[in-house]
Structure 1
Amino acid sequence: MALDFRAASLDDIDGLLRLYQQVYGRDYALPLGTDPEVMAREISSPHTTWLAARDPGTGRMVGSIVGNHDPSDGLGKLQGLVVHPDVRGSGAARQAVRQLSDSLLSGDRPADSVYATARTNSTAPQRICLRSGFQALGIFPNLRKAARHETMVLLARHREGVLERRLPVPRVPAGLAGLVRALRSAGFETDTEITPETPPRVPGSRPAAREVELVDAPEFVLRRFAEVVPDPGRRFYPFHSPNVMLAATDGAYELYAQLSRADGYCTLIGTAPGMDALGDDLEPLIERLGGYGASYIETLVPLDCYDELCQLLAHGFLPAAAYPAMRRVGERFRDYVVMARTLQPLDFRDLALDVAFQPFTEQYIELWKQQYLNTRGVFQ
């Protein structure tokens, strides 16, 4: 029997807290299931749709899923899916994903696409999304720490007609060849040329890095970011806002990031005056972020930004996932790529992936091996 998923209210918070506690214990990393104040803000937000279901017999909470919609970016996000063990196997999880994604992709101001991440401790969460119209787009290695660092996968579902309006990507660096092939195997047509990227510097040739200060004042950082990076295209990072800034003491650049010390997740959101201003300082900046608690660092880059992709490849970032037609540009849509760098050893033990993610995973592992296990030049 299908559950009745309805909009959650503030009166549901206690029941939702018990549900997340029953299912995840103390390992749940998101405040959506652990912090009553955060949950209240989300339930009350006009940009959030929180669906919850109760057992018709007992009245206890047995299902929950959260959807966020940013109308300015045309993007939706699903998160926080949980169903009580007693109703697993009933189709409740798939019902929740389908119902909420249908809602976000329709209405007066529909999202152009909706994305979700899924766990890899089993294939069940991935297949729930795949069977609800989502497509596999990549992996996030060592993304988030629950009991331990865990790889997640990325999936997205697009509104009808969006994918047919993708902007062309003339060329990408050779380091993204595997990702382009993975996209093609997933049914995303692309006529992209693969060209050799600018080779990285020889180790030891890097000049001394500038002195850098960390500004850990979230409200100030957010205001400063809006001032020095006014172009919306350069501030595009859906559902993320910077809370720290790394500033060169000589004023050469400011790097903005969202850093969660609780789980080591870090996103590089923007740079003033631009990524090229970092030059070879990018490597020591990554080291500094690691010292501040980052264990996984990612950045979102348009797939057609060739020079920026070359720079990131040269400093150890690898293409982990793609997002076709992610951002609207006029009447067309621009493809993006998630470039990731993990500062912890890869741990793929007990990884369970649906075959849809195989091309994305294999290309990442192959690049990682070339980056860190290639012994050519070691033995003279």
Structure 2
Amino acid sequence: MAHKKIEKIIKAEGKQDIIIRLARVADMRRIQMLYAEVYGAAYPIPIIADKDKMRSAIENDEYYWLVAECQGRVIGSLVYSVDLLYRNSKAFGAVVSQEFRKHDLAFTMMKLVLDDITQTKDLVDLVYATTRTANHAPQKLTESLGFIKLGIFPNTHKVQDNETHCLTAYFTDRALQRRRTTPVIIPEIAPFYEIVRRQINLEPAQLSEVRRDYSDHKQKIPLLNFETITATEFIKHRWKKTKSNSFFENIFMPFHEPNLILITPDQGTEVYITYSQKDKYSVIVGGVTNEKSFAVVLESVAQQVSRMDMSYVEVIIDAYSPELQRDALDARFIPSAYFPSAKRMEDKRYDCVVFSRTFDILDFRNVRIISLYKNFLNEYLKLWRENYIELVFDSEQK
């Protein structure tokens, strides 16, 4: 990566100048104090809580970590992770001290890095972010920067309570020009696609009414017998040597390193997962298997992580494999977001669909979301009711 250099001075009325700059190792304690000030001790992202991970990110060329400083105090922080190979970036961890929020520091910090990596240095084709829903501010911030609304993550993280997050992304012209067109999706995904399509003028999708082995919900999905491996270094080395096969070739999970392996006793199936005990969140990163049904693997994973006290499990599947999309829905993974151009393979980019399964009671009373995100939530809830409630009554009537 080309040398990083970002700095901006903001004149603040009644206060000393605010300096926005790249974070240094010497800032680490003050950064942690800022997150503790705003979120208490419950902030779940490991890169904030773990000093070794924080140091590595600050020193690593594949991160842009900005801080805003005033009178020796860190009063703002923001992180961008950059994947140079896949030309993706993720913005996260934006936080500003309460007394400095009228200065648009979050907007300025996000804009500085966004322009640098998409224009000045041309490092990435897209940048995505997940925004909290405790209030409208994070959603309006990304909207003002030109980010497109892509969906929601229901009950995804637990800070004090289960939180629903929004998915949003900024697309360069290159990201959309290299996109594989005409996704092939099951009808249940179509409403999510249409919400995104209206924002960035995509072509109509091709719908597939495909049925699978367990589409008849009276037929119970058999479970694989999983054992768990949580040895961090072992997983890290094994994952580097593992090439996903079968339906795992059609999934995508950026910026996640697995820290859990679910493995069958005969080693015929290994599923690599990132999970967090702190916020009860888990995502499927990849795997190898000789099992023929994706629904069987997903149902087995869901049951296992539920026993491990997870509240949420997620898988992202490409938008050109309707059989796998149907398998996911048959395993009661509900679509909640549509991500155009998410996955880069060679010179093409591929759309993906976010599916998730939650094990806690859905409670959206404290969710504050704007405009189109409400449409995503409505579509998600419609499918959730169909798959978790109405199916029961339908089967009883039959």
Secondary structure at the counterpart of residue 39 of structure 1:
helix
Assess, with a 3 A threshold, how the Cα gap between structure 1 residues 106 and 190 changes in structure 2: closer, same or farther: same
**What count of residue pairs does the alignment treat as equivalent?**
378
Residue 9 of structure 1: aligned partner: 24
Q: CA deviation at 1:227?
A: 3.3
Corresponding residue number in structure 2 for 1:160? 173
For residues 305-344 of structure 1, the aligned pairs below 5 Å read: 305-344=321-360
Matching residue within 224, 231, 234 for 1:217: 231
Alignment of 1:194-343 (within 5 A): 194-198=207-211, 200-203=214-217, 205-206=219-220, 208-229=222-243, 236-273=252-289, 276-343=292-359
TM-score by length of 2: 0.88
**Structure with more helix by fraction:** 2
Among 160, 169, 174, the alignment partner of 2:182 is 169
Aligned runs of 1:25-40 on 2, under 5 Å? 25-40=40-55
The equivalent of 2:6 in structure 1 is none
Amino acid at match of 2:26: D
CA displacement 1:44-92 (0-9 Å, x = unmatched): 111111111112xx33211111111011111111111111111112211
Query: For the structure 1 residues 372 and 16, does the alpha-carbon distance in structure 2 shift closer, same or farther, using more than 3 Å as the test?
Result: same
Provide the secondary structure at the position in 1 that maps to 2:211: coil
Report the AA paired with residue 9 of structure 1: R
State the Cα distance separating 1:28 from its structure 2 match.
1.5
2:279 counterpart letter in structure 1? D
Counterpart contact for 2:68–2:105, Cα < 8 Å: no
Q: Is structure 2 residue 385 aligned with structure 1 residue 369?
A: yes
Q: CA deviation at 1:215?
A: 1.8
Following the alignment from structure 2 to structure 1, what is the Cα–Cα distance between the partners of residues 25 and 321? 44
Q: CA 1:208–1:48 in structure 2 vs 1: closer, same or farther (change >3 Å)?
A: closer
> What is the correspondence of 1:52-63 to structure 2 with a 5 Å cutoff?
52-55=67-70, 58-63=71-76
SS in 1 for 2:200: coil
2:101 maps to amino acid = R
3-state secondary structure, aligned to 2:387: helix
- Identical columns (%): 27
Matches of 1:247 and 1:322, distance apart in 2: 30
1:114 aligns with 2:91: no
Q: Deviation of residue 218 (structure 1)?
A: 2.7
Q: Tell me, yes or no, if the aligned pair for 2:133 and 2:367 is still in contact at 8 Å.
A: yes
**Aligned-pair CA distance for 1:170:** 4.4
1:22 aligns with 2:37: yes
Counterpart-to-counterpart distance in 1, 2:209 and 2:250? 26
Structure 1 pair 363–15 and aligned structure 2 pair: CA distance change class (3 A): same
Distance in structure 1 (CA, Å) of the matches to 2:90 and 2:291 = 27
Superposition deviation, residue 324 in structure 1: 0.7
Equivalent position amino acid for 1:169 in 2: T
1:100 to 91, 113, 130: 113
Contact 1:97 1:128 in 2 (8 A): no
The alignment yields a C-alpha RMSD, in angstroms, of 2.3
Task: Indicate how the Cα distance of structure 1 residues 210 and 162 shifts in structure 2: closer, same or farther if over 3 A, else same.
Answer: closer
One-letter amino acid of the counterpart of residue 376, structure 1: D
How big is the shift at 1:165?
2.6
> What one-letter code is carried by the residue in structure 2 that aligns with 1:285?
V
- Distance, in Å, in 2 between the alignment partners of 1:48 and 1:213 is 34
The code of the aligned residue for 2:342 comes to M
Kept in 2, the 8 Å contact 1:253–1:278? The answer is no
Give deviations 1:313-366, integer Å, cap 9, x for gaps. Answer: 110011111211112233331111111111111110121101132322221111
Separation in structure 2 between the aligned mates of residue 223 and residue 275 of structure 1, nearest angstrom: 24
- Distance in 2 (CA, whole Å) between partners of 1:109 and 1:150 is 34
Instruction: Tell me, in whole angstroms, the C-alpha distance in 2 between the residues paired with 1:283 and 1:329.
Output: 28
CA spacing shift, 1:40–1:228, aligned 2, 3 Å: closer
In structure 1, C-alpha distance between the alignment counterparts of 2:341 and 2:299, rounded to whole Å: 30
